[in-house]
A and B are shown apart, each in its own frame.
Chain A
Amino acid sequence: EAQVTQNPRYLITVTGKKLTVTCSQNMNHEYMSWYRQDPGLGLRQIYYSMNVEVTDKGDVPEGYKVSRKEKRNFPLILESPSPNQTSLYFCASSFSRGQETQYFGPGTRLLVL
């Protein structure tokens, strides 16, 4: 089954404790992206990757890191989480840019205390 998976689905952590949210897709997509969703703001892009070892910042990259060492995986790293990073996070992937739908993972709900 073609899908994007994210782990964990739910996470409660404390300020400053490093965490990683994993994202994996089995569709051989080149393009992958991370979004965060906050009430009243819709989804905003954090980082994206056009291919292995190619990443770039989105609209709200502060406080996040990413890496793309393999085509299928695109982890999101929070080196020192803060309460304002409490959010719903989505990973997405697609074959091409702009004109093709992105397939979304199930989302990760993060609470930073």
Chain B
Amino acid sequence: AQKITQTQPGMFVQEKEAVTLDCTYDTSDQSYGLFWYKQPSSGEMIFLIYQGSYDEQNATEGRYSLNFQKARKSANLVISASQLGDSAMYFCAMGLFGNEKLTFGTGTRLTIIP
């Protein structure tokens, strides 16, 4: 069975600083995808970034990058130059190729301090 672990229930970060949100995963499959979603206080789920297990380079999307360390089974989200609008709940998730389910972690609540 797949499992996603997010060990940081909450984080407080000063505005404009970089922040790393931790995510480790557990699977015996070789083909999988890792996702990060943002959930602001309004409740919607916003896709941020994706990393495939066979991708050799770390994924980047604007201020978001995914620090993928396959041997350690970690997929940390890095947000550069944090902004007040980054305050939200962040979820790490994993999907197996050919599987219909996303397995989610319990989330990290990020608060950006002015």
The interface of chain A, by Cβ under 8 A from chain B, is 31, 33, 35, 40-45, 48, 50, 56, 58-59, 88, 90, 92, 97-104, 106-107, 109
Please name all residues of chain A whose beta carbon is closer than 8 Å to the beta carbon of B45 when the two chains form the complex.
43, 90, 92, 104, 107
> Looking at the complex, which of B11-19, B63-71, B73-81, B102-110 is the stretch in contact with chain A?
B102-110
Closest A-B pairs by Cβ, 7 of them: A98-B95, A104-B45, A42-B104, A43-B104, A98-B97, A48-B100, A99-B33
Give the size category of B's interface with A: 20 to 34
The interface of chain B, by Cβ under 8 A from chain A, is 4, 31-33, 35, 37, 43-45, 47, 50, 52, 91, 93, 95-102, 104-107
Please name all residues of chain A whose beta carbon is closer than 8 Å to the beta carbon of B102 when the two chains form the complex.
33, 35, 43, 45, 92, 102
User: Do B43 and A88 touch across chains, with their CB atoms under 8 A apart?
Assistant: yes
